[in-house]
Amino acid sequence: MTDSSSTFAYSVLTRLLAYYESHQIAVKLAEPDEAAPYASLLIGFEEIGASNDSLLLEMSFVPGLDEFEEEGVYLLQTFAVLRDKTAPAQYEALLHTCASLNLTLPLGTFGVTEPGGALYFKHNAMLRSGWLENDQGLLHLDRTNGLVLHQFHQFMDQLTAEA
């Protein structure tokens, strides 16, 4: 990411941070470091599903897309780990469940990294800078996160029980 594009991406994340803080939602801005050389907005959700799980939704702009960013186009990734580890013996069944659920999702996908690996949710959106500068863009991102949260409420128990 060039300095101007990373500055723009950072400004969008800080505006989202202020928006969520004004609504008393647990949120934190993770600054770039060696492990993740880009900023991320971390949104905490509690009491997901019948088991009242909690999870962290990470929003960040995918780095390294300089040609797109020069044209004012950014790729925003939303990511959450539902379980750090899964039962290796359940890998095939869990992949099948994720694939079946993904057919019904209006947004994003569930997946598992490898036998015994992380169970996750991921959504990417290609967005124009002019739209992101607008307050309506922030409200749309919030509504998108509301839909993602709804999906967690619907499917978290099923997925984590199988994991």
Segment 94-122, tens digit of pLDDT: 999 999 999 999 999 999 999 999 999 99
Instruction: State the pLDDT at residue 1.
Output: 45
Range of the domain at 20: 3-162
| Ranges of the chain with pLDDT below 70 | 1-5
Q: Pairing between strand 53-61 and 40-48?
A: antiparallel
What's the pLDDT at 3?
A: 56
Domain with 124 in it: what CATH number? 3.30.1460.70
Q: How many domains does the chain have?
A: 1
pLDDT of residue 56: 96
| Residue among 73, 151, 70, 56 nearest 110 (CA) | 151
> Are the CB atoms for 88 and 56 separated by under 8 Å?
no
Contact (CB, 8 A) for 63 and 37: yes
